[in-house]
């Protein structure tokens, strides 16, 4: 039997000197291609035909005579033994079992399109890949076209293999005030299936997956990572087939497309391979979000220090109080004042008025103008909270247009509210008009865009409608930045990041919880988009009382802001906050462009990261002590990604914070120390003893 010559393609992410990864796709004859290699760059002259043949696994008893391809869209009709990449039906409900054949391929610089068709069923399938030589993210999407409308149950973005030398996968769950929790699941035959059917990205299932190869840690080893950039809820399948092969599928949650159509498209799958541990994946995602996905109104503008009034006043808006708070916030170093929920309709609590986006004349008899003028007078810009997709039954709009709400009339409410039907263009026009009236009348440079409930059912039109509304407002107000909030981190993904500029990572302003959440979120998110606020002395969501030093430094790890009532601050607290904020402003220029590298901490009580300037010339280490250590003295903390032969001057930025119980004389307590990169990476820095719930901040410069 002669095997037809395979069609092959290779994708390399060259960055001028060398690629970081190569992906090889190969197809048997006209069949759909499969990924036969993904990893360290292959030599330029590697024979792809030989690779494709060398990739084929053997056949023994109890197997088919040939192993079905683990293709970019595994086909049920080719006896694929696992989950297929496409499930669809005709209009009358008859299942369609397509078998696609090659049509054409098209290479354009870093992009590759592969086109296939099933003539019998009138279907066309396009795989769209691109590599990015600077961020090292591979993007991929699948597009399905049909001659006649069909019902889509499931469409996977290009399906990629998971490595064999991997014992477990890490995916991300969470909850309100507890976002980005990492779960490790051992590989075994069968499926790890995660699906978010809540209609928004959700706290519960962040669409991300890391697959470390055996022995990989934050700083070393091989790892693969995936993120699906869609805000409507996703499905992930990580499956080990009976023959041992492993496939990773991503797509919209199943059956999210509510009507038959002739075109369906997945969102973009972002994938990367690293041989510098999980950090290699994290840095790829961080750079891609910051440098490729976020559409900054002004990239050169430093991220301003925020003040948000939510936890200071909640719905109790009084102009003199807000002005006083604004003045104090500016004095502490804030540069943008965000007026949160409570300014519109009759919004005295969370039971009413959502969608009545007109200024409450009881609270603001002369409109928002006087407050905005005051804020501007303090040298700050002004931001405003909206929750555009939502409506309270107790609102003028719901009374006038009850049919504008999504879902059944007797549905269970969430925070006393319903979602508006964003698939309805009249609804979008209405919201747009109301928001544009406010944004057009005032000098507002920021919108905090909230989404506080799940949908009554998943519906892709809802997400597309939200995207269309945001896109339209951004065209009309190109200077306005947007923060994506959904009861904290309920809508964080690269689809929403293409339209927004910051995420409200969590409603938890508890610095101890925040330290952990932002440590794990850094696997996907850079400083530039990750909001972090100094909360009240006694945290409103945990009841914990934490020292201002710890609260301030945890906020200074990301895009810094304040959210407490500044009138509660003692003089000492205000001084500390002013100092840390000034430190952040001095450093944000390079930190915004830096890579966040999670450190392998020898002490599980210490959560540590190293923010490394792109040119390698400087770094800052944040070592947060999140619990009491088991051993009595601090274990040295190993740094990463330094030049082993270079010497670095390291210095504690907050030396004065050493408690009296630190009685010894570790060198760093006295001042700067010059040490070789090798020492820092293999011995590690010796920090002074300190209390739990505190942070050491170490600055480093290459000499």
Which residues contact residue 26 at a Cβ distance below 8 angstroms, ignoring those fewer than 6 apart? 6, 7, 8, 9, 33, 34, 36, 48, 49, 51, 52, 55
Q: Which helix (H) or strand (E) holds 584?
A: helix 571-591
**Where in 156-289 does DSSP place strands (E)?**
160-161, 168-175, 178-186, 190-195, 205-212, 223-229, 234-240, 246-252, 261-265, 268-274
Among 284, 375, 397, 485, binds ligand GLA (CB under 6 A): 485
Residues in binding contact with ligand GLA, number by CB under 6 A:
12
Both tokens of residue 309? 């009034």
SS3 content of the chain, % helix, strand, coil (to 5): 25, 30, 45
For ligand GLA, the closer of residues 367 and 414 by Cβ is 414
CB of 345 to ligand GLA, least distance (A): 13
Stretch that binds ligand GLA, among 371-379, 429-437, 481-489, 525-533 (CB under 6 A): 481-489
CB of 488 to ligand GLA, least distance (A): 5
For ligand GLA, the closer of residues 179 and 507 by Cβ is 507
For ligand GLA, the closer of residues 26 and 312 by Cβ is 312
Q: Terminal CA-to-CA distance of the chain, rounded, Å? A: 65
For ligand GLA, the closer of residues 563 and 609 by Cβ is 563
Which residues contact residue 83 at a Cβ distance below 8 angstroms, ignoring those fewer than 6 apart? 74, 191, 237, 239, 247, 249
Q: Are 354 and 363 in contact (CB under 8 A)?
A: no
Q: Within 13 A of 16's CA, how many CA atoms are on the CB side?
A: 2
Q: Are 223 and 213 in contact (CB under 8 A)?
A: yes
Stretch that binds ligand GLA, among 8-16, 326-334, 467-475, 482-490 (CB under 6 A): 482-490
So which residues are the catalytic ones?
450, 507
Among 127, 385, 430, 562, binds ligand GLA (CB under 6 A): 385
Site string for ligand GLA, 439-468 (x = CB under 6 A): -----------x-x----------------
Looking at residues 406 to 425 of the shown chain, list those that interact with ligand GLA (rule: CB under 6 A).
none
Among 132, 507, 513, 699, binds ligand GLA (CB under 6 A): 507
Could you give the 3-state DSSP secondary structure of residue 513? helix
Q: Which helix (H) or strand (E) holds 437?
A: helix 425-441
CB-based closest residue to ligand GLA: 341
CB of 451 to ligand GLA, least distance (A): 9
For ligand GLA, the closer of residues 487 and 690 by Cβ is 487
Task: List 288's β-bridge partners, or say none.
Answer: none
Looking at residues 487 to 506 of the shown chain, list those that interact with ligand GLA (rule: CB under 6 A).
487-488, 504
Both tokens of residue 20? 């970081």
Site string for ligand GLA, 296-335 (x = CB under 6 A): --------------x-------------------------
d(CA 636, CA 620): 16
For ligand GLA, the closer of residues 341 and 603 by Cβ is 341
Could you give the 3-state DSSP secondary structure of residue 302? coil
- 509 lies in the site for ligand GLA, by CB under 6 A: no
d(CA 82, CA 242): 8
State the DSSP string of 601-664.
-SSTTEEEEEEE-TTSSEEEEEEEE-S--SSSSPPPB---S--TTSEEEEEETTGGG--TT--S
CB of 160 to ligand GLA, least distance (A): 34
For ligand GLA, the closer of residues 488 and 688 by Cβ is 488
CB of 360 to ligand GLA, least distance (A): 14
CB of 507 to ligand GLA, least distance (A): 5
Residue numbers at the binding site for ligand GLA (CB under 6 A): 310, 340-341, 350, 385, 450, 452, 485, 487-488, 504, 507
């Amino acid at each position: 039997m002669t095997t037809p010559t395979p069609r092959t393609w290779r994708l390399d992410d060259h960055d001028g000197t060398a690629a970081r990864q190569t992906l090889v796709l190969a197809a048997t004859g006209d069949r759909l291609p499969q990924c036969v290699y993904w990893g360290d760059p292959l030599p330029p002259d590697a024979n792809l035909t030989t690779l494709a043949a060398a990739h084929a696994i053997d056949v023994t008893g109890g197997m088919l005579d040939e192993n079905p391809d683990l293709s970019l869209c595994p086909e049920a009709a080719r006896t694929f033994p696992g989950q297929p990449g496409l499930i669809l039906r005709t209009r009358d409900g008859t299942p369609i079992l397509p078998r696609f054949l090659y049509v054409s391929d098209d290479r354009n610089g870093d992009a590759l399109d592969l086109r296939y068709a099933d003539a019998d069923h009138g279907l066309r399938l396009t795989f769209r890949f691109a590599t990015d030589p600077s961020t090292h993210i591979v993007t991929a999407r699948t597009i399905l076209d049909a001659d006649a409308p069909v019902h889509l149950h499931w469409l996977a973005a290009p399906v990629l293999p998971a490595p064999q030398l991997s014992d477990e996968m890490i995916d991300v769950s969470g909850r309100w005030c507890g976002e980005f929790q990492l779960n490790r699941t051992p590989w075994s035959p069968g499926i790890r299936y995660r699906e978010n059917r809540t209609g928004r990205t959700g706290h519960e299932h962040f669409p991300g997956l890391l697959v470390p190869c055996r022995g990989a840690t934050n700083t070393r080893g091989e790892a693969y990572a995936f993120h699906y950039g869609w805000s409507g809820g996703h499905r992930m399948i990580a499956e080990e087939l009976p023959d041992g092969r492993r496939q990773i599928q991503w797509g919209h949650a199943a059956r999210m497309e509510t009507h038959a159509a002739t075109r369906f498209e997945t969102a973009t799958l972002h994938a990367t391979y690293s041989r510098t541990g999980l950090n290699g994946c994290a840095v790829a995602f961080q750079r891609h979000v910051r440098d490729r996905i976020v559409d900054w109104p002004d990239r050169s503008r430093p991220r301003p220090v925020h003040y948000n009034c939510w936890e200071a006043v909640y719905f109790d808006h009084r102009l003199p109080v807000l002005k006083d708070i604004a003045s104090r916030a500016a004095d502490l170093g804030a540069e943008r004042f965000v007026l949160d929920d409570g300014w519109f309709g009759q919004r005295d609590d969370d039971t009413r008025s959502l969608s009545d986006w007109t200024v409450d004349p009881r609270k603001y008899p002369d409109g928002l103008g006087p407050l905005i003028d005051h804020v501007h007078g303090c040298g700050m810009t002004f931001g405003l909270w909206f929750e555009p997709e939502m409506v309270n039954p107790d609102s003028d709009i719901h009374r006038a247009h009850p049919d504008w709400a999504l879902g059944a009339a007797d549905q269970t409410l969430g925070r006393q509210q319903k979602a508006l039907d964003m698939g309805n263009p009249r609804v979008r026009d209405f919201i747009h008009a109301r928001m544009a009236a406010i944004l057009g009348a005032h000098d507002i440079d920021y919108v905090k865009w909230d989404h506080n409930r799940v949908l009554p059912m998943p519906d892709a039109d809802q997400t597309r409608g939200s995207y269309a509304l945001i896109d339209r407002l951004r065209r009309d107000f190109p200077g306005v930045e947007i923060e994506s909030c959904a009861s904290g981190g309920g809508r964080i993904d690269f689809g929403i990041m293409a339209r927004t500029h910051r995420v409200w990572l969590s409603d938890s302003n508890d610095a101890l919880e925040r330290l952990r959440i932002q440590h794990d979120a850094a696997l996907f998110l850079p400083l530039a988009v990750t909001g972090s606020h100094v909360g009240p002395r006694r945290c409103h969501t945990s009841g914990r009382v934490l020292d201002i030093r710890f609260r301030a430094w945890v906020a200074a790890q990301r895009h810094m802001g304040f959210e407490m009532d500044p009138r509660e601050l003692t003089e000492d607290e205000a001084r500390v906050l002013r100092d840390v904020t000034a430190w952040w402003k001095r450093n944000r220029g390079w930190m915004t462009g830096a890579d966040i590298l999670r450190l392998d901490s020898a002490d599980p009580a210490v959560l540590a990261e190293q923010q490394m300037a792109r040119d390698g010339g400087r770094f800052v280490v944040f070592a947060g002590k999140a619990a009491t250590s088991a051993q009595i003295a601090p274990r040295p903390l190993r740094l990463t990604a330094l030049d082993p032969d270079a010497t670095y001057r390291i210095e504690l930025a907050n030396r004065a914070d050493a408690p009296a119980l630190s009685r010894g004389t570790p060198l760093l307590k006295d001042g700067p120390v010059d040490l070789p990169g090798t020492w820092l990476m293999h011995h590690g820095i010796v920090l002074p003893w300190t209390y739990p719930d505190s942070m050491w901040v170490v600055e480093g410069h290459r000499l």
